[in-house]
Amino acid sequence: MNRTIVRLTAQGMLGGRRLWLLGALALLLVVIAVATRLLAPVSEADAAALLRAVAFSTFLPLFGLIVGTGAIAPEIDDGSIVHLLAKPVSRHTIVQSKLLVAVGAVVALAVVPTMLAAAVLGAGPRTVLAFGAGALAAGAVYSVLFLLLTIVTRHAVIIGLVYALIWESLVGSFVPGARNLSVQQWALSVTESIAPSGLVTADVGLGLAYGLIVGGFVAATWYAGSRLNALTLTSEE
Amino acid sequence: MATLTIDTCSRWFGNVVAVNDVTMSIGPGITGLLGPNGAGKSTLINMLAGFLPPSAGAVTLDGAATWKNPEVYRALGIVTEREATYDFLTGRQLVVASAELHGLPDAGAAAQRALETVAMQQAQDRKIGEYSKGMKQRVKMASALVHDPQVLLLDEPFNGMDPRQRLHLIELLRRMGAEGRTVLFSSHILEEVEQLAHQIEVVVAGRYAASGDYREIRRLMTDRPHQYTIASSDDRALASALVADASTAGVSLEDGVLRVQAREFLRFAELLPRVARDADVRLFEVSPADESLESVFSYLVEN
């Protein structure tokens, strides 16, 4: 971890329009919760179903995509990444520092609003905590996956959107086996393990889910560092 | 004392060969990398800077590979041609961040020194996004110099500079060269390189073309066959008089235009007026037909 890189990343990522976009997304989630609560009576099961559909299926992948790519994509695109690369700093340190900022943004602007939405919908403390833990797991894994994708390919946003929209929602609903490779299912499994029983069901076993979340996070972080080490910079010549 | 070495190095991008079997060694003092646009200068500098692996061959700084070796940046300062920096920082913040990333004990003081070196103290607290192109170049320079590197690489550093900034940079690079540092800069303008570099390496179309001090390069560039188109009072008489001299390599008279191929520049410059006078022909116009830098460079490659 390097404090200077954390500072530069936070300033670059959260300064300007991206922060407004993320804030608006977070606000939208809470507004949906408030509106639902005001318009109709909500049971805890309804609350869970709503959070699952809105927060886990749509909001978290999108949020992870924005912060994961936002932590490094602009610098790679415009070439200002040379300021970090031309320094005697390990590429793994660069990735870890950027990831810290992305996960920090996930906690502040995705995990907290998800918990807030759960509370607004009238969920009990355990359910609120369960969804918070699930959101953290999903947000952290999405962040590192999209950060890695940005280093590997210039089409990270397209691929990320395809993954989030097609894989997570469509393929998962038709091909049960694909759910094992769905970050959303891993996160739901975490939520299931904490929430009151029967409230949330996930298709991936808890042990496997925890293994994939932690293992995937660590492996993707390491791999992103080694890919950054091999990132080539060319000029327009 | 630091030496950059490029050893039988090639770099290709798909089917395009950007650098073709180049070998050169760059020692202390100022070296100019001269070549037309698209000659592979930036590719060479990117490989020296450790931003690009050679497809074949090796690029080393004092024996250590520059690719995948962040430790080389302790001795290496790099100013790239691309303009982008962190526009949301002030000039001073950028240089301080550089100093911190180098792990310097007193980042603030080091940044102050570097900003003074490039004369940017006045504007240091303004956002980089508000800087002019020349100011951006200078603050990037300060950021590259903050750790007092033994080796400095600059890609087209004079692009977009006004004459005053140019003079200032020339003075700065001269000082660094005199201190025994290894300075390499690229340019496509001979005069620029001539003015500053004690050693010139010429690359054309990805290949090594020539090297030497500026006198040798200048001689290579002027002592080559020149082509002229000539308009005179009697082209036919002038043509027959010119072809008799050994310094004329060829004469053609087509569509009323007289073209002369001269073997040597200086000798022909002296010959033409004498021959014209003796033949009683008046010269209206003598113009060189192929003075573009590209033709000069391609001549160098052919030899």
> For B9-46, what is each residue's pLDDT tens digit?
999 999 999 999 999 999 999 999 998 888 899 999 99
Average confidence (pLDDT) over B265-273: 83
3-state DSSP call for residue B282?
coil
What is the torsional sign of CA A88, A92, A98, A100?
A: negative
Inter-residue contact A37 to A128 (CB < 8 Å): no
Position B291 scores a pLDDT of 57
- Amino acid letter, residue B141: M
Give the minimum alpha-carbon distance from A163 to chain B in angstroms, rounded to a whole number.
29
Residue of B nearest to A78 (CA): B84
Contact flag A88-B155 (C-beta cutoff 8 Å): no
Which has the minimum average pLDDT: A58-67, A171-180, B50-59, B102-111? A171-180
Residue of B nearest to A236 (CA): B82
Average confidence (pLDDT) over A72-93: 93
Please count the helices (runs of H) and the strands (runs of E) in chain A. 13, 0
Cβ within 8 Å of residue A170, ≥6 positions away = none
Inter-residue contact B88 to A15 (CB < 8 Å): yes
Position A237 scores a pLDDT of 39
3-state DSSP call for residue B19?
strand
Give the minimum alpha-carbon distance from B140 to chain A in angstroms, rounded to a whole number.
9
For chain A, the average pLDDT equals 92
Q: Is A176 on the interface with B (CB under 8 A)?
A: no
H or E element that contains B283 = strand B283-288
Position B298 scores a pLDDT of 66
For the record, the structure tokens of A130 come out as 């369960």
The full length of chain B comes to 303
Give the minimum alpha-carbon distance from A149 to chain B in angstroms, rounded to a whole number.
20
Closest by alpha carbon to B94, among A210, A4, A203, A133? Answer: A4
Q: Which residues, in sequence order, are bridge partners of residue A225?
A: none
Query: DSSP character for A89?
Result: -
Mutate to test the interface with A, among B51, B85, B153 (most CBs of A within 10 A): B51
Query: DSSP character for B50?
Result: T
Q: Which residues of A touch B37 (CB under 8 A)?
A: 237
Say whether pLDDT at A167 is over 70: yes
3-state DSSP call for residue B248?
strand
Q: Which of A10-14, B99-103, B186-190, B278-282 has the highest mean pLDDT?
A: B99-103
Position B294 scores a pLDDT of 61
What residues of chain B, 149 to 168, have a C-beta less than 8 Å from chain A? 155
Q: What is the spatial distance between Cα A146 and Cα A69, in angstroms, rounded to a whole number?
A: 6
Say whether pLDDT at B205 is over 90: no
Size of interface A-B (CB pairs under 8 A): 92
The ranges assigned to domains in chain A are 3-236
Place of tokens 């066959």: B225
pTM to 2 decimals? 0.86
Q: In what order do the strands lie in the sheet with B257-262?
A: B248-254, B257-262, B226-232, B283-288
Q: Are strands B151-154 and B182-187 parallel, antiparallel or unpaired?
A: parallel
Say whether pLDDT at B221 is over 80: no
Q: What is the spatial distance between Cα B174 and Cα B166, in angstroms, rounded to a whole number?
A: 12
Inter-residue contact B148 to B98 (CB < 8 Å): no
Mutate to test the interface with B, among A11, A234, A236 (most CBs of B within 10 A): A234
Q: For A235, which of B78, B82, B88 is closest by C-beta distance? A: B82
Q: Calculate the CA A179 to chain-centre distance.
A: 17
Say what the alpha-carbon torsion angle B92, B96, B99, B105 is, to the nearest 10 degrees: 130
Average confidence (pLDDT) over B169-176: 93
Inter-residue contact B61 to A86 (CB < 8 Å): no
Q: Kindly indicate the confidence band of residue B268, based on its pLDDT and cuts at 50, 70 and 90.
A: confident
B162 sits in the region (left: phi over 0; alpha: psi -120 to 50; else beta) called: beta
Position B295 scores a pLDDT of 64
Q: Is A17 on the interface with B (CB under 8 A)?
A: no
Q: What is the spatial distance between Cα B119 and Cα B163, in angstroms, rounded to a whole number?
A: 15
Burial A56-93 (b: 16+ CB within 10 A, else e): bbbbbbbbbbbbbbbbbbbbbeebbbbbbbbbbbebeb
The full length of chain A comes to 237
Inter-residue contact A234 to B52 (CB < 8 Å): yes
Q: What is the spatial distance between Cα B147 and Cα B143, in angstroms, rounded to a whole number?
A: 8
Say whether pLDDT at A139 is over 50: yes
Average confidence (pLDDT) over A70-93: 93
Q: Which residues of B touch A76 (CB under 8 A)?
A: none
Contact flag A86-B71 (C-beta cutoff 8 Å): no
What residues of chain A, 100 to 159, have a C-beta less than 8 Å from chain B? none
Position B293 scores a pLDDT of 58
Q: DSSP of A172-209, one letter per residue?
A: HHH-GGGGGG-HHHHHHHHHHHHSPTTS---SS-HHHH
To the nearest whole percent, how much of chain A has pLDDT over 90? 75
